[in-house]
């Protein structure tokens, strides 16, 4: 069987979940290496098991990432394109029902700051902050490792722990907000589980399961705000 046939069989076996795996080169022969999908939302996205990735890397040279779209056509989603760019590898996509294939390769894609879809760990509120700082200020902020699911994050928010090590300081009560300041918020949670960027009286942010947007810093968002921060310098 070819690697495409092996990948298709894996995709059919995993349906309705997304399958994921790697195309590797073993002594000049291309082989499909199936991996576990660790995502708690496995019908919508995938997270390759790091142990499987390491084993594949030990077996041969990794050439591409392969995953399935059980419901949608085999066309790269926004999250796929972002992750593909980060991986630096070609991505092959297959629909197990239609058996159609598609692929995407790194081409310099950057998601828009406004109108991006929310995907935990890929395009979420912290991802938006990092992209805005890089595009507008040329500052590259650390991408802190998140828990596997947003539910775990709500139980143990990381913003307060990471802010200082990322170069931010808390504003004094008498300091006025300036463009680019961060607002740590509590959205339907007990801890600070959301971050927004202050811009000319508005906020640019990305709430869970919504489209990223810029909107007025209204009374509700003000009430949700628990901490105001300004970038100083990463230590």
**Six-digit token pair at 15?**
């349906």
Check for a shared fold between 3-104 and 125-231: no
Which tens digits make up the pLDDT trace of 65-74? 999 999 999 9
As a whole number of angstroms, the distance between CA 192 and CA 184 comes to 6
**Residue 162 in contact with residue 184, Cβ under 8 Å?**
no
State in words which class domain 3-104 has: alpha beta
Return d(Cα 97, Cα 112) in angstroms, integer: 32
Q: Which two tokens stand for residue 180?
A: 């680019």
Dist CA 113 CA 107 (whole Å): 18
CATH class of the domain at 125-231: alpha beta
Q: Is the confidence at residue 146, as pLDDT, over 90?
A: no
- Paired with 30 in beta bridges are 25
State pLDDT tens for residues 87-121.
999 999 999 999 999 999 999 999 999 999 998 88
Measure the CA–CA gap between 55 and 115, rounded to whole angstroms: 37
What is the residue whose two structure tokens read 């291309």? 30
Structure confidence at residue 165 (pLDDT):
80
108 strand-pairing partners: none
pLDDT value at position 63?
98
- So what's the pLDDT on residue 234? 58
The domain ranges of the chain are: 3-104, 125-231
What pLDDT is attached to residue 69?
98
What is the C-alpha to C-alpha distance for residues 198 and 15, in angstroms, rounded to an integer? 43
**pLDDT, position 233:** 75
């Amino acid at each position: 069987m070819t690697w495409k046939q092996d990948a298709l069989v894996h995709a059919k076996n995993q349906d309705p979940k997304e399958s994921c795996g790697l195309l590797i080169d073993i002594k000049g022969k291309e082989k499909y290496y199936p991996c576990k999908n660790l995502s708690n939302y496995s019908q919508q996205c995938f997270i390759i098991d790091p142990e499987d990735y390491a084993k594949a890397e030990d077996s041969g040279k990794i050439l591409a990432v392969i995953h399935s779209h059980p419901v949608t056509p085999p066309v790269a989603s926004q999250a796929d394109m972002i992750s593909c760019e980060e991986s630096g590898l070609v991505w092959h996509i297959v629909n197990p029902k239609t058996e159609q294939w598609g692929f995407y390769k790194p081409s310099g894609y950057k998601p828009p700051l406004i109108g991006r879809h929310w995907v935990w760990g890929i395009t979420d509120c912290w991802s938006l902050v990092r992209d805005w700082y890089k595009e507008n200020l040329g500052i590259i902020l650390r991408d802190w490792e998140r828990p596997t699911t947003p539910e775990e994050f709500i139980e143990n928010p990381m913003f307060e722990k990471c802010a200082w090590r990322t170069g931010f300081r808390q504003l004094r009560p008498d300091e006025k907000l300036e463009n680019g300041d961060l607002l740590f918020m509590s959205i339907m949670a007990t801890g600070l589980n959301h971050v927004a960027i202050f811009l000319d009286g508005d906020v640019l942010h990305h709430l869970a399961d919504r489209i990223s947007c810029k909107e007025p810093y209204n009374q509700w968002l003000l009430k949700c705000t628990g901490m105001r921060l300004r970038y100083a310098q990463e230590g």
